[in-house]
Amino acid sequence: AELRKASKRLTCHKRYKIQKKIREHHRKVRKEAKKRGHKKPKKDPGVPSAAPFREELLREAEQRKQRLEELKQKQKLNRQKEHEKKRKLEAKKNAAKIKEKAEGKESSGKSKTKNNKWLDKNSKKSFCRELKKVIEASDVVLEVLDARDPMGCRCPQLEQAVTCCGGDKKLLLVLNKIDLVPKENLEKWLNYLNKEFPTVAFKSATLMKDKTMVQFTKRRAHADLSRTTEYFGCKCLLKLLQEYGKTQNKAIQVGVVGFPNVGKSSIINSLKGVRACNVGLTRGVTKSMQIVHVDKQTKMLDSPSIIADPSNHVLALALRSIIDTEESGSEDVLEGVDAILNHCSKQQVMMHYSIPDFRNTEEFLTLIAQKRGMLKKGGVPDIENIAKLLLCDWTGAKISYHSQPPGSQGLPPYLTEDKIAEMHKCFNLKNLEVENNTTVQALKYPSPASSIIFQSVGMTDGMIEENKVIEEASEWENLETSKEGEEEEEDFTESDDDQDDMEVEENVKEVTRKGKLGKQQTSPANSETQIAESEHSNSLALSLDKTADADDAYDFNTDYV
């Protein structure tokens, strides 16, 4: 016998109960809809057939719809890309964690040694080591100076090391980026520097003719490449070096040294006529000695940048330090921008950036951020990134500014008249002067009105000796150690007391650093005013304490009418 299906019949009581519940639910939904004010969307009535310009209006409406759809699709694609990036990052992190767990302690030890080796290549000490190698190996040392601030680019420690080492080692000054200063100012600097060392006027090519340049022209056909590909002063410099080589009767090695972003590698590329060395806006691109053969008689030695001494002025550290602006702290960058503004004409800065008057550095940066559209979420100006961009502009070849040479020719202590005569020996100075004049006449220069007047701080102290370098937590170390720090945080947790102690130590360090900067910038008059203010504040605090004690001592026996 077949099994019967279960009956769907219900008792009346149960059926009525279900129906009641459904009615209540529908009532509730209607009530909520009334509260929200949710109404059916009205249909678009469209354009009446009798309306004038009906076809044009319809066409415009269709175009608007298409634009909206395209925008939505773009947004969707961007969202998908971001999600994919996040997924990939998470997958990489997970894979790394799994690997580390599998390998264990031995593999972690090996990876640490590898990291240490990598850090050693990019540490300040290795930079000094490589720089010293270049100085020792070279017969002629070219100290590259930025024509906008030649005095700020000179390193007394380097000049002393070359002049006092003995032998036939020569020092030449190469005044680069001469197209960014007025003609009169350039002539003054050439006259001033030639009295100490033989100086060559030079304009290096920032872009060389190779595959990268072809791609650049395809993408941006409107870009003016004449300024970036042309170079001047090559013949003059090569003649000088070749003549010196003939006097020595041997192939000479020429070391190219200087502070970051002065154009060391681009000078070598200009002399070679091909992109032989890597060039970039970021500071510290060259990390080791590179040998480039210009011809049979001359070898060029590219060197890492000179490391600026931390005891230098804030302005010198902002323009000449080796730390990359993209990775350095926001406080250092803001201090650097503030120092630049303090050493420039305010009106000229306003004219250059075409912005209204500003009271302080933050206001200046906000105005530029708003003008360039560098805004964060909610329309807040991105001050940190605009400050980094400004520093790159001032160290790169974008902004035209110039500093005046000192009024009196005061020789540094390591230079004597005999040393100067020794440095000038074996060089044809008359030919050098003629060649410099031809390069000066060939170039176009900015007008003195458009170039910003800049007050130089003077020579920048550098660290050449490896022993004197105090290894700080450099940007490269932070990049590597941050990964190790994330791993260690999982295993090791500090107590609350230890964290408090660490915070106190950090605050003390910040206070001392700010105090040092203040000492460098403030004059004796300012210090007196600060002392007076502090005394005044102390007296105010004492008087406030006294009044507080007097208020607390209330006599309840006395009656007040």
Is residue 162 a part of any domain in this protein? yes
Is residue 493 a part of any domain in this protein? no
Statement to judge: residues 239 and 385 lie in one domain? no
Statement to judge: residues 413 and 379 lie in one domain? no
Statement to judge: residues 381 and 412 lie in one domain? no
Is residue 216 a part of any domain in this protein? no
pLDDT, tens digit (0-9, with 9 covering 90-100), for 133-157? 888 888 999 999 999 999 999 999 9
Statement to judge: residues 172 and 248 lie in one domain? yes
Is residue 441 a part of any domain in this protein? yes
Statement to judge: residues 191 and 302 lie in one domain? yes
Q: At 494, phi and psi to the nearest 5?
A: -85, 155
What CATH number does the domain containing 156 carry?
A: 3.40.50.300
Is residue 34 a part of any domain in this protein? no
Kindly give the confidence (pLDDT) of every residue in the chain, 561 residues in length, as a single tens digit, with 9 standing for 90 and above.
Answer: 567 888 889 999 999 999 999 999 999 999 988 888 766 777 777 888 888 888 888 899 999 999 999 999 999 999 999 999 999 999 998 888 888 888 775 555 555 554 544 445 557 788 888 888 888 888 999 999 999 999 999 999 999 888 888 778 889 999 999 999 999 999 999 999 998 999 999 988 776 555 444 334 434 444 344 455 677 888 899 888 888 888 888 889 999 999 988 888 888 888 888 887 877 666 667 777 888 888 888 889 988 888 888 888 888 888 887 655 455 556 788 888 999 999 998 899 999 999 999 989 999 999 999 998 989 888 899 998 899 888 888 888 888 999 999 888 788 888 888 888 888 888 888 888 888 898 888 888 888 888 999 999 889 988 887 766 665 444 434 434 444 444 444 443 344 444 444 444 444 445 444 444 444 444 444 444 444 444 444 444 444 444 444 444 445 454 544
What pLDDT score does 207 carry?
Answer: 67
Handedness of CA 429, 431, 434, 436 (dihedral sign): negative
Statement to judge: residues 299 and 351 lie in one domain? no
Q: How far apart are CA 317 and CA 314, in angstroms?
A: 5
Q: How far apart are CA 68 and CA 63, in angstroms?
A: 9
How many CA atoms within 13 Å lie on the side-chain side of 79?
A: 6
What pLDDT score does 172 carry?
Answer: 92
Q: Which residues of 268-292 are buried (b: 16+ CB within 10 A; e: fewer)?
A: bbbbbeebbbebebebbbbbebbeb
What CATH number does the domain containing 383 carry?
A: 1.10.1580.10
Q: What residues make up the domain containing 326?
A: 314-395
Statement to judge: residues 197 and 340 lie in one domain? no
Task: Report how many helices (DSSP H) and strands (DSSP E) the chain contains, helices first.
Answer: 20, 10
Q: How many domains does the chain have?
A: 2
**Closest-CA residue to 302 (of 312, 294, 310):** 294
Is residue 3 a part of any domain in this protein? no
**Taking a C-beta distance cutoff of 8 angstroms, is the pair 444, 218 a contact?**
no
Statement to judge: residues 350 and 258 lie in one domain? no
Statement to judge: residues 287 and 177 lie in one domain? yes
Is residue 337 a part of any domain in this protein? yes
**Closest-CA residue to 160 (of 457, 425, 465, 470):** 465
pLDDT, tens digit (0-9, with 9 covering 90-100), for 285-308? 777 788 888 888 888 998 888 888
pLDDT, tens digit (0-9, with 9 covering 90-100), for 498-534? 444 444 444 444 544 444 444 444 444 444 444 444 4
**Taking a C-beta distance cutoff of 8 angstroms, is the pair 370, 380 a contact?**
no
Task: Write down the pTM of the prediction.
Answer: 0.60
Statement to judge: residues 413 and 323 lie in one domain? no
Statement to judge: residues 260 and 326 lie in one domain? no
What pLDDT score does 122 carry?
Answer: 58
Is residue 296 a part of any domain in this protein? yes
Statement to judge: residues 251 and 264 lie in one domain? yes
